[in-house]
Structure 1
Amino acid sequence: MAPSDDDKEDVLLAGRYGDLEDLREFVSKFGSQPLAAIRDENENCILHMVCGNGHLDALEYLLPLVPSSLLAAQNSSKSTPLHWAALNKHLSVVQKLVEYPDGPGIDLIDIKNTAGHTPLGEAELAEWDEGAAWLVKMMNLESEDPEKEARGSEDKADEDLGIPQDIEVEIEDAEGQVAKMTISGTSGGSKSS
């Protein structure tokens, strides 16, 4: 038996309010497969509801039941469950989404919504320093510059010899502005552009 529109609305509300008993009842009645396809009028899925409202216990229950692609599901504003968790300052939920072993991992941090904001940008806009710092710590700051990658083996050899290296870092703020900073491996300190 397929869930009715009322059943779908009820399970989204159960996610929104963190009603674990109702979530379990839905899965018992209809199985877990319908959970992945259920959306509200703004294309929010069950994970948007759970994560936006900080329901870690419900998230932990749902993660093994839904496809891992649902962690990166985007609503009509292209926001993911991670965007919502960051906007609403739910650190344990943010951590669970990014660190979930079968999920997209740190790639979730790079997804932009229609406003051009990543989950990190949402955390910054919400003035949530703890969450923003955690997301930055988790980000993949490795170079996508092929020329730099070609130099990588030379730099590694220099590191092995104890020769200090300059490190270039790019950080995007909430407005999408990119700041570049070079941290000098010599005694010079740092410079930014």
Structure 2
Amino acid sequence: MSIPLPTDDDKDDLLLSCRYGDIEDIQAFVDKFGSGPLNDIRDHSGNCALHMVAANGHADALDYLLSVVSPSLLSARNSAESTPLHWAAVNSHLTIAQKLVQFKNGPGVDLLDIKNAAGRSPLGEAENVGWEEGAKWMVEVMNLDDAKGEAAEDDQPLGPAVDIEVEIQDAEGQVARMKIGKQPLAES
């Protein structure tokens, strides 16, 4: 017996189920059509299932989808070049942002470097909407290695712990300053 192909109505219904976090309907779609179509379904703006659950903060639906979709969907871009992480940032969903970045088979912290058509990374979007908690978390986990891809002075002995002040400028020239608590200080 062959697996049926979803109709346009089935695809629209799936995206609505993702938007509203209806995990039972999402699971029913996968039971009927398999998980393959999930990787290709997009709305008129290029949003995929992960965009919908990320934008609306549905952690249970995200957990289920991450178990059945291709990890490449984590970096899928819509027509505005935004990823699901951009949408989680715009809507201030910390748990969703963490799940997207920390997904073991995904791109990880590299998701934080993707810029959308407006030239903003997920961190830039968090700053743009004034989401300090999310911006702070992103700065704490982002790759702050130097341009050569090597951590700066990794072999230096560590000294006493100090607060680190971070200053980041977004594409519009706005500067965000924040402290990251008690990090070991390299001795000179």
2:31 to 1, 21, 28: 28
- Residue 169 of structure 2 aligns with which residue? 172
State how 1:1-193 maps to structure 2 within 5 Å.
1-145=4-148, 155=153, 159-160=156-157, 171-173=168-170, 175=172
For the residues of structure 1 that align with 2:103 and 2:38, how far apart are their CA atoms? 18
What is the DSSP-based 3-state SS (H/G/I as helix, E as strand, rest coil) of the residue aligned with 1:77?
Answer: coil
For the residues of structure 2 that align with 1:36 and 1:85, how far apart are their CA atoms? 19
What is the DSSP-based 3-state SS (H/G/I as helix, E as strand, rest coil) of the residue aligned with 1:97?
Answer: helix
Output the TM-score relative to the length of structure 2. Answer: 0.83
Native 8 Å contact 1:120 1:174 kept in 2:
no
Structure 1 unmatched runs, 5+: 188-193
Q: Which shifted more, 50-59 or 137-146?
A: 137-146
Native 8 Å contact 1:111 1:119 kept in 2:
yes
1:5-60 deviation per Cα after TM superposition (whole angstroms, max 9, x unaligned): 00000000000000011101100100111000000000000000010000000000
For the residues of structure 1 that align with 2:114 and 2:73, how far apart are their CA atoms? 13
| Larger strand fraction of residues | 2
Native 8 Å contact 2:158 2:186 kept in 1:
no
Structure 2 unmatched runs, 5+: 177-184
CA RMSD in angstroms comes to: 2.7
For the residues of structure 1 that align with 2:148 and 2:90, how far apart are their CA atoms? 31
Q: Rg: which structure is higher?
A: 1
What is the DSSP-based 3-state SS (H/G/I as helix, E as strand, rest coil) of the residue aligned with 1:79?
Answer: coil
| Larger helix fraction of residues | 1
For the residues of structure 2 that align with 1:119 and 1:54, how far apart are their CA atoms? 15
Matched to 1:173, the amino acid is D
Output the TM-score relative to the length of structure 1. Answer: 0.81
What is the DSSP-based 3-state SS (H/G/I as helix, E as strand, rest coil) of the residue aligned with 1:41?
Answer: coil
Matched to 1:175, the amino acid is E
For the residues of structure 2 that align with 1:75 and 1:66, how far apart are their CA atoms? 17
Aligned residue pair count: 173
